[in-house]
Amino acid sequence: MHAYRMLGALGDELLLQRGGPVVTRHSGTGDLAAVLYHYPDEVALTVPGSFDTRDAADRTLVTGSTLPVSIRVEGLPPRTPYRLEVVDADHGSAMAEWERLGSPLNLSRADAATLRAKPAGSAVVEFTTSEEGVLDVQATLRPWSVALLTRSGVEGLRD
């Protein structure tokens, strides 16, 4: 769910695509948007959602090491705030919240509302471009995480 929302926030001009990060620009506004993700190399054959049982998926979700990521973009407006929204097992995860609720088979209305609100629990890191208009993003992604980098205040912007 989050990954689709984040992909929808990407711009129509590709600036960089290497391994995990995809950095784009919205041609209409010039705003930068990037999606980063970390599927750990230690699990090359499948992803957690493709297992028949929750036990196998849970074992896979704790497999893998962190991934340092670095993005540098020049030519941006000086002193512009950006935000990196990270969704991982502890931040913005509806599955983790469902498990904290006791893994109920039938959700109450209150439980369903809690799960719908979970995107607000994503981790957010703020960055600002330099006086020269350079954005340097240094972050560490946990295994199975996905992140969206946007200018503060324009999350989900579409052309």
User: 64-100: per-residue pLDDT in tens?
Assistant: 888 999 999 999 999 999 999 998 877 777 777 788 8
Percent of the chain with pLDDT over 70: 84
Tell me the one-letter amino acid at 60: T
How far is residue 122 CA from its own chain's centroid?
8
- Rounded CA-CA distance 138/72 in Å is 9
Mean pLDDT across the stretch 118-124? 68
| CB of 127 closer than 8 Å to CB of 83 | yes
User: 48-63: per-residue pLDDT in tens?
Assistant: 556 666 677 777 777 7
- Rounded CA-CA distance 150/36 in Å is 12
Specify whether the backbone of 109 is left (phi greater than 0), alpha (psi in -120 to 50) or beta.
alpha
Place of tokens 């769910």: 1
Higher pLDDT, 153 or 18: 18
**Domains of the chain (ranges, CATH numbers):** 2-149 (2.60.40.1500)
* Burial class of 95 by CB neighbour count within 10 A (0 to 12, 13 to 18, 19+): middle
| CB of 76 closer than 8 Å to CB of 135 | yes
Higher pLDDT, 74 or 46: 74
* Buried-state track 55-72, b at ≥16 Cβ within 10 A, e below 16: eebeebbeebeebebebe
User: 6-25: per-residue pLDDT in tens?
Assistant: 889 999 999 988 777 899 99
Confidence check: pLDDT of 159 > 60: no
| CB of 24 closer than 8 Å to CB of 68 | no
Q: Give the pLDDT band of residue 117 (cuts 50, 70, 90).
A: low
| CB of 157 closer than 8 Å to CB of 32 | no
Q: Whole-prediction pTM value?
A: 0.78
